[in-house]
Amino acid sequence: MGTPDGATVDRYLASALLEDDPVLEAAIAASDEAGLPPIAVSPLQGRLLGLLARAMGARRVLEVGTLGGYSAICLARGLAQGGRLVTAELEPHHAEVARVNLARAGLADRVEVRVGPANETLRALAREGAEPFDLVFIDADKSGYPEYFELALGLVRVGSVIVADNVVRDGEVADADSADEAVRGVRRFLERVGGEPRVEATAIQTVGVKGYDGFAVVVVVA
């Protein structure tokens, strides 16, 4: 046998580290059944989101891009006692599937799915004077990342963490001439983050069941 590939290793790591999870499996099955695209985070990435929330003692988490609620379940499981997750989703159908999945997971009482363009939802949260979020997960339309980052900065505190998914996209992110709006959005996001004195950031490439991609981790330091 040659060297196992990234997806094979992902499955091995998941089998070693993650327990059987009928709730997450049901969320994926229901999302597939409802015709949602199969683009939720991987089981191992989902675990990382939950671990981050738990390690931070997060009481308030914000997600941008709900889809069927898979990553929302992972994040909400990591919330401290009494904590809450707000998740923003453009598509009413996705939000409906997510609400069912979150209810099945027993998390409906601590998760609010807000339907509408995420930039409007984030502006509304700011207007409402929402308490700062401890952790933000950005995972909606990639062309919107620069704006979501800008708005997220107004909704956090020193010490908050912002994670952004899909910042590598098969390596296309390194192509300065890419005409792909998603790639261009991610590049503008990364360059904006890199130039922002209030934050310190990194990005890590990943390979696994979701292919070759990566995520950025941003910490608000001032």
**Residue 137 pairs with which residues in a beta bridge?**
63, 163
Phi and psi, residue 30, nearest 5°: -70, -35
Residue 203 interacts with ligand DHB (CB under 6 A): yes or no: no
Q: For ligand DHB, which is the closer residue by CB, 40 or 135?
A: 40
Alpha carbon separation from 215 to 75, 91, 102, 127, 131 (Å, rounded) = 16, 24, 24, 29, 26
Which partner, ligand DHB, Mg ion, ligand SAH, none, binds residue 185 by CB below 5 to 8 Å per kind?
A: none
Rounded CA separation 98/132 (Å): 24
Residue 165 interacts with ligand DHB (CB under 6 A)?
Answer: yes
**How many residues contact ligand DHB, by CB under 6 A?**
4
- Minimum distance between the CB of residue 67 and ligand DHB, rounded to whole angstroms? 8
**What part of residues 165-194 is at the interface with Mg ion (CB under 5 A)?**
165-166
| Contact residue for ligand DHB among 139, 152, 162, 208 (CB under 6 A) | 139
CB distance 37 to 59 below 8 Å: no
Nearest-10 crossing angle of helices 92-104, 22-33? 150
CB of 18 to ligand SAH, least distance (A): 16
Q: Which residue is nearest to ligand SAH (CB)?
A: 65
Picking from 191, 140, 211, the residue whose alpha carbon sits closest to that of residue 203 is: 191
DSSP 137-188: EE-S-GGGHHHHHHHHHTTEEEEEEEEEE-SSGGGGGG-TT---HHHHHHHH
Q: Which residues bind ligand SAH (CB under 6 A)?
A: 39-41, 65-67, 70-71, 88-91, 94, 117-118, 139-141, 144
Residue 83 vs 113, nearer CB to ligand DHB: 113
Longest dimension (CA), the chain: 58
Q: Which residue is nearest to Mg ion (CB)?
A: 165
- Is residue 39 part of the contact set for ligand DHB (CB under 6 A)? yes
Site stretch for Mg ion (CB under 5 A), options 12-20, 86-94, 131-139, 174-182: 131-139
- Is there binding between residue 166 and ligand DHB (CB under 6 A)? yes
Overall size of the chain counted in residues: 222
- If the CB atoms of residues 100 and 118 are measured against ligand SAH, the closer one turns out to be 118
List residues binding ligand DHB (CB under 6 A): 39, 139, 165-166
List residues binding Mg ion (CB under 5 A): 139, 165-166
